[in-house]
Structure 1
């Protein structure tokens, strides 16, 4: 602050609250810790020899791979008491020994690869969910493929079985139906047996589709499919009773897909339909909305303290982003309309190249 920095900026940089600094300033001695603690050492405190014994026992070959919760009862079974479990923890923590001391090692978690979609048919996500059948305990299986960038359902079908052969067949059908070019599509899924089956992987390899998988038991790695399943099963039109037959389930899913793709205004893509976003028709929708709001602002300028609502959608959509850099870049590409010059730079033929999504809206409005 001596160089002219404001208090709020300095506090954000140091991770402090402004109120904390103001409280320190009110204290005459500058806010030093007033606690003094006990004046004398407790009479029942562990001796230095006992502390050394705790460290020695914890590092013996028999106990070096165990925590205090395992060491203390094992010693009790041998008729030995050195210190309490909390004392073990305190001493080992002070000596920086609350770490794996033997062959035991913490689980290594490898984050999945970050994937960024810049346009349609670059990144799809797919999964399978259960639809209850009339017989209790039996289900139909809904296979669902969604474009991550546009949120459009690319393929949906209800089957009586869950297997790699059905998945392979649907992948081929979706690939041909939407005219996907070889070596341009990544297909993300979880680690279920249909997703990693030999038939499925062979089909993707033959079509030039790059597979991508979530970490085991981590549903957050496949968020777009999971979010879509929630939308399906919490929809007001979702049946309260099980489906009477496979045909009934498939008929309901067809109606839902038509509504979702062509009528549902998706909040994550600027409240346009996934089909409009996928085809690029959302630019004209945004331009029209902006024109409406700008006209309203001109009629009653006192009702706006700044700019009108930012009718726009993200130019890029990340899957498994590296926090916080990717989220910040994706957010900036939406607000500022400027594509970063790093890994998110648009490629030739990309949906958002060479201008930003916001600038494209401006061009449509001007025309």
Structure 2
């Protein structure tokens, strides 16, 4: 390897420096020194703090690092020394000052950029934290929704409900297990308890380590303080079976003993003791009491063609003891007569034909309508029942000899027979009756303003036109009150639309309906 003296090396480097720097390629061609060696020398000189431009171009085109090296090299020089340095390097003091100002400006800009990047980094980190928190919240909400949905599908319908309801230990254990699974899957405890229909306090009580899942109300033995002893109960039985009282009822025994100055128990207590001892049975020639049939199921109609009611009424003919029979079907919701026929006999065949015609006229679909009637033979005939089954019409029947179970048909027949133009004399023939019934049906469906329908016609109720009519009436009354408010001491007349019509409602439903009407 060829070695160069320090002087020759310094002379070569001097040619690379201002004021007239020579390019590395040119210098390598002139001296025969490899370019890599020259580049290495220039790099070492730059590292020592001396300004060695990386190009032979004009000083305005030097690299920023070379300009910065000149600035650092002249930083400690006074004005005279700076002038001498500039003449040696072929530079102007103004150039160096401009480079220094540019360096300071670049540093300030860099400092500002660093601050901006730091602020942006903080904002980015804050935004990332917000997004992560939002993602965590949404994941938790999604997990909770899925857990609650699974819990809703698993929980049986008999859990929760009315306060104080008895729940078996197995169901309690199942509720605790389902709650634990839902909470573990991500559901909040109070949300899961709402799905179970149980209070949080109840589940906490069941979940205690020393708590028994057995409802203590089922194992508690409560003995009333005034309970009769076995000796007292035996005394009651002995007195009731004695010769003086064996033929008397407890209602007669108690006053008889009181007349003798004795009191052993009340009538209800004596009845209970005798019943427990199997000493209470029907005696005598009177018929034993018969349990009354249960009231038929109630039906609620919220639209037309949901519940129908039908019956047959007698119409006198000119021949004494001979009657014509009017078959009539009405819609309970709208009171519209949807079908009628007059025949000379009662027959399930005639009834079946009428039902088919009514279903066809009203375009009734299968399993759409319930048909209620009494227990007459035409109503329960095999042909009639088969027809109802084929049409998909659900039959419903009144209790035997209880006309109140079919009130709408009964009320319609009263309206029918108490019309002012109803003939005072029997009908001459069946055609005359049919003609009169046809006129009645037209009047009833299209002209009669029914009191139970807010005085709209059954046809208007059947087609839904009554809603607009009742709203118009409400507006008329409101305008009248606004024009002359002194004529009203309270609210105007209630023209609201009744959305529900019940057939044979239960006692609770009937009370609710009465209360709603009173409130309205």
* CA separation of 1:87 and 1:265: change in aligned 2, threshold 3 A: same
Cα separation, 1, equivalents of 2:501 and 2:386: 28
Equivalent pair of 2:371/2:396 in contact (CA under 8 Å) = yes
**Equivalent residue for 1:55?**
240
User: CA shift at 1:157, angstroms?
Assistant: 1.3
CA distance in 2 between partners of 1:170 and 1:237 (Å): 26
Q: What per-residue deviation string (whole Å, max 9, x for no partner) do you get for residues 60-103 of structure 1?
A: xxxxxxxxxxxxxxxxxxxx976996886344656126979237
CA spacing shift, 1:307–1:156, aligned 2, 3 Å: same
Aligned partners of 1:315, 1:190: CA distance in 2, in Å?
26
Unpaired runs of at least 5, structure 1: 1-49, 58-79, 337-367
Within the candidate set 129, 133, 148, 2:317 is matched to 133
Q: 1:46: which partner in 2? A: none
Question: 1:316·1:330 contact (CA, 8 Å) conserved in 2?
Answer: no
- What does 1:214-253 correspond to in 2, within 5 Å? 214-253=398-437
The 8 Å contact of residues 314 and 330 in structure 1, kept in 2 or not, is answered as no
Corresponding residue of 2:383:
199
What's the counterpart of residue 501 of structure 2? 317
Distance in 1, Cα, partners of 2:317 & 2:253: 56
**TM-aligned CA distance change 1:202 to 1:83, over 3 Å:** closer
The aligned residue for residue 285 of structure 1 is 469
Q: Is 1:171 aligned with 2:355?
A: yes
Q: Distance in 2 between matches of 1:332 and 1:117?
A: 17
Alignment gaps of 5+ in structure 2: 1-234, 255-266, 283-287
In structure 2, the CA distance between the partners of 1:182 and 1:333, relative to structure 1 (3 Å rule), is farther
**Higher share in helix:** 2
Higher Rg of the two aligned structures: 2
Structure 1 residue 294 corresponds to structure 2 residue 482: no
Separation of aligned partners in 2, 1:248 and 1:209: 32
1:116 aligns with 2:296: no
How many Å apart are 1:284 and its aligned residue? 1.9
Q: Is the 8 A contact 1:221 1:320 kept in 2?
A: yes
Name the structure 2 match of 1:102.
281
1:194–1:200 Cα contact (<8 Å) kept:
yes
Q: Which residue of 2 aligns with 1:89?
A: 252
Could you tell me whether the CA contact under 8 Å between 2:352 and 2:383 is conserved in 1?
Answer: yes
Report deviation, 1:335.
6.0
CA distance in 1, matches of 2:289, 2:240: 19
Q: Residue 114 and residue 88 in structure 1: after superposition, are their counterparts in 2 closer, same or farther (change >3 A)?
A: closer
**Partner SS, residue 96 of structure 1:** helix
Aligned 8 A contact 2:467 2:497 in 1:
no
Question: How far does residue 197 in structure 1 lie from its aligned partner after superposition?
Answer: 0.3
Offset of residue 238 of structure 1: 1.2
Paired with 2:390 and 2:330, the residues of 1 have a C-alpha distance of 21
The structure showing larger relative contact order (alpha-carbon pairs under 8 Å, at least 6 residues apart) is 1
Q: 1:82 and 1:326 mapped to 2: Cα distance?
A: 45
| Residues 152-191 of structure 1 aligned to structure 2 (within 5 Å) | 152-191=336-375
3-state SS in 1 of match to 2:437: helix
CA apart distance, 1:271: 0.5
Contact 2:310-2:373 at 8 Å conserved across structures: yes
TM-score normalised by the chain length of structure 1: 0.66
Paired with 1:263 and 1:334, the residues of 2 have a C-alpha distance of: 28
Counterpart CA distance in 2 for 1:285 and 1:88 is 61
| SS of match in other structure, 1:310 | coil
